[in-house]
Amino acid sequence: MGPVRQPVFRGTAPALVTPFTPDDRLDEAAVRALVDFQIGGSPFEGEPFDGVEALVVLGTTGENPTVTDDERRRLVDVVLEHTAGRVPVVVGTGTNSTAHSVAYSRQAAHAGADGLLVVGPYYNKPTPAGVRGHVAAIADATDCPIVLYNVPGRTGSNLTAETTLAVIEAVPSVVGVKEASGDLGQIADVIDGAPDGVAVYSGDDALALPTVALGADGLVSVIANAAPGPVAEMIRRALEDDVAGARRLHYGLLDAMRASFFESNPAPLKAVLAAQGRMSPALRLPLAPLTPAVADRVLAAYADLIEAGRVEGGG
């Protein structure tokens, strides 16, 4: 009999932004407020919705390449302390260095993370054997469950369905896959081949509905940062086979999904969160603020969600 696996969550997890102050420090107050907003949910089109099922810290949207080691440790501690077990917390610990990934994974597990998000190593372009070895080394260093993360548009290297399923077979700690290849055929092959207890999550808001329809277990979301309630409700309805209800929410959110990538993520999203009054739009170089023309387009696409999520006295 194979290993008994248990997914970290089913439903929606925002890939949280990392708030910075205008003078480039970690904004701990904004982190705590964002956690509460995600778990508490938000309204949309006059309807109140419950919040998300999990949180992801230090993913792509969290600007993880430019968060320092000290900030990383503090951010994880703040999120775990403030979440206080209300939902699971998954921490991004994967890099293109196996040794660094192991060290970050040990730190996150020691802090109390419920899972580790391990991206396919970027820039190096490892072979499938290299990917298996990389993930196995992380698994050997900690008992924390692992969610693989395939995002070839960022890493320059696609984890094919064959490679992903081989890693799952070789590493029993893998209990999930965040698939952001944009290839529904490949995603379907992963869903079809994944063993019981291994969840597959869409890594693309705009493809979340069809991905869940193919049998996926949820979404790791960008736009949930600004709209946790309606995004989580869309996924809940999709998981419950309420296609009409999920489709209505999908089309209501589609402009915002597309606008989130008018320029590199998370620049559009931070502009929206700033307009809601939740944090500064500050980014870390080499990311740069939105150009004024793009900012206008992003805020127009998010107009209803900005109003629904606006903090009293903010924005």
- By annotation, the residues acting in catalysis are 149, 178
Residue whose tokens read 């910075």: 20
Residues 17-50: b if buried by 16+ CB within 10 A, e if exposed: bbbbeeeeebbbebbbbbbebbbebbebeeeebe
DSSP 219-270: EEESGGGT-HHHHHHHHHHHHTT-HHHHHHHHHHHHHHHHHTTSSSTTHHHH
Rounded Cα distance between 213 and 85, Å, is 30
- Count CB atoms within 10 A of the CB of residue 215: 13
Q: What 3-state class would DSSP assign to 68?
A: coil
Q: What 3-state class would DSSP assign to 94?
A: coil
Token pair in block for residue 198: 């291994």
Q: Number of C-alpha atoms within 13 angstroms, CB side, residue 302? A: 29
List Cβ neighbours of 108 (8 Å cut-off, separation of 6 or more): 76, 91, 93, 116, 144
Rounded Cα distance between 308 and 306, Å, is 6
Q: What 3-state class would DSSP assign to 137?
A: helix
Q: Which whole-number Å values give the CA distances from 139 to 4, 22, 88, 106, 136, in the listed order?
A: 15, 38, 19, 10, 5
Angle at 185 between CA 178 and CA 260, to 5 degrees: 50
Helices (H), the chain: 28-40, 69-83, 98-111, 128-141, 152-155, 161-170, 184-193, 208-213, 228-239, 243-259, 267-275, 292-301, 303-309
